[in-house]
C-alpha cells in the first residue's frame, strides 16, 4: 500500500517537477527481431515459423521522478512468418509473409540504479501502422490480395540494462510485442480466418541527455 501511494504521488509530481526537462534523454537503437503469426482457421490454430528481420527505434524518456519516466517511442519493424498459403499448418520453407510497420509506443519505464549497471523495465501499449506487405515463395514475389488492416495494436514489454559511457548511456534491451488485435479478419471467407502478429527482439543503442545534465 505504501509503495502504491508513493508511485501515485510520484506521477502527480510531474506537473511540479523542475528536473524533468533537464534530465530528458534521447535514445537510438537497432537490433534483430523474431516475429511470428498465429492463425485461427475454423477451430484449429496454427503458429508460423519465426521470421528474423532488423528493427530500429528512437525514443525520448521524460522523467516524472527519480526512477520513473514516460517513454514515447517510434520505430521500424518487420513482422510476419513462414507458412503455407493453404493454412495446412506450419512447415519449414515455402511461403514467407513480410509486413513492414511503423511502430509507435508509449511506455512507463522504471529504472533501478546499481553499482556498475542500471536495470530497467518498460511497459505500455503500442500501435503498428502498415507500411507495406509482401508474400514470397522461395524468394519469388507472388500476388497477394488478402485484406490486412491498416493498423494493429498490442502491448510492449521491454527489460534492459545500461551503463555509463562518457556522457552517454549504453544499453541492451530485449523487447516482446504481444499483438492483441486481428490483422486479417476476412468476413467473406467460407471459414473463420483470424491472424495476430507477435514479435520478440534484442537491440542495443545509446541514450543521451538533452537539454541539460545526464541522468
| DSSP string for the chain | -HHHHHHHHHHHGGGG-SSHHHH-EEEEEEEEEEEEEEEEETTEEEEPBPEEEEEEEEEEEEESSSSEEEEEEEEEEEEEEE--TT-S---SSSEEEEEEEEEEEEEEEEEE--SS-EEEEEEEEEEEEEEEEEEEETTEEE-------SEEEEEEEEEEEEEEETTEEEEEEEEEEEE-S-SEE-TTSSS-EEEEEEEEEEEEEEEEE-SS---
pLDDT of residue 114: 86
How far lies 191's CA from each of 40, 42, 45, 97, 99, in Å?
A: 10, 6, 13, 21, 23
pLDDT of residue 26: 95
pLDDT under 50: residue ranges of the chain: 9, 12, 14-22, 88-92, 213-215
pLDDT of residue 81: 85
Q: State the CATH class of domain 2-209.
A: mainly beta
Q: How many CB atoms lie within 10 A of CB 152?
A: 25
Environment class of 79 (CB within 10 Å of its CB; exposed 0-12, middle 13-18, buried 19+): buried
CA dist 38 and 47 (Å) reads 4
pLDDT of residue 186: 64
pLDDT of residue 210: 86
Environment class of 133 (CB within 10 Å of its CB; exposed 0-12, middle 13-18, buried 19+): middle
CA dist 103 and 65 (Å) reads 26
Q: What's the predicted TM-score (pTM) here? A: 0.79
pLDDT of residue 110: 96
Amino acid at each position: 500500500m505504501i509503495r502504491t501511494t508513493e508511485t501515485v504521488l510520484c506521477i502527480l509530481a510531474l506537473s511540479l517537477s523542475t528536473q524533468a526537462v533537464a534530465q530528458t534523454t534521447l535514445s537510438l537503437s537497432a537490433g534483430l527481431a523474431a516475429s511470428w503469426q498465429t492463425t485461427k482457421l475454423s477451430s484449429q490454430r496454427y503458429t508460423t515459423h519465426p521470421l528474423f528481420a532488423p528493427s530500429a527505434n528512437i525514443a525520448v524518456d521524460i522523467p516524472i521522478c527519480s526512477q520513473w519516466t514516460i517513454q514515447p517511442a517510434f520505430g521500424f519493424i518487420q513482422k510476419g512468418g513462414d507458412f503455407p498459403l493453404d493454412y495446412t499448418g506450419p512447415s519449414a520453407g515455402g511461403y514467407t509473409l513480410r509486413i513492414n510497420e511503423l511502430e509507435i509506443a508509449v511506455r512507463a519505464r522504471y529504472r533501478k540504479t546499481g553499482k556498475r549497471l542500471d536495470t530497467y523495465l518498460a511497459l505500455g501499449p503500442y500501435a503498428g501502422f502498415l507500411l507495406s506487405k509482401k508474400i514470397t515463395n522461395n524468394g519469388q514475389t507472388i500476388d497477394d490480395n488478402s485484406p490486412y488492416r491498416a493498423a494493429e495494436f498490442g502491448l510492449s514489454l521491454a527489460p534492459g540494462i545500461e551503463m555509463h559511457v562518457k556522457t552517454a548511456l549504453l544499453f541492451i534491451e530485449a523487447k516482446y510485442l504481444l499483438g492483441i488485435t486481428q490483422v486479417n479478419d476476412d468476413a467473406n471467407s467460407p471459414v473463420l480466418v483470424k491472424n495476430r502478429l507477435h514479435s520478440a527482439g534484442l537491440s542495443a543503442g545509446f541514450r543521451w541527455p538533452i537539454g541539460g545534465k545526464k541522468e
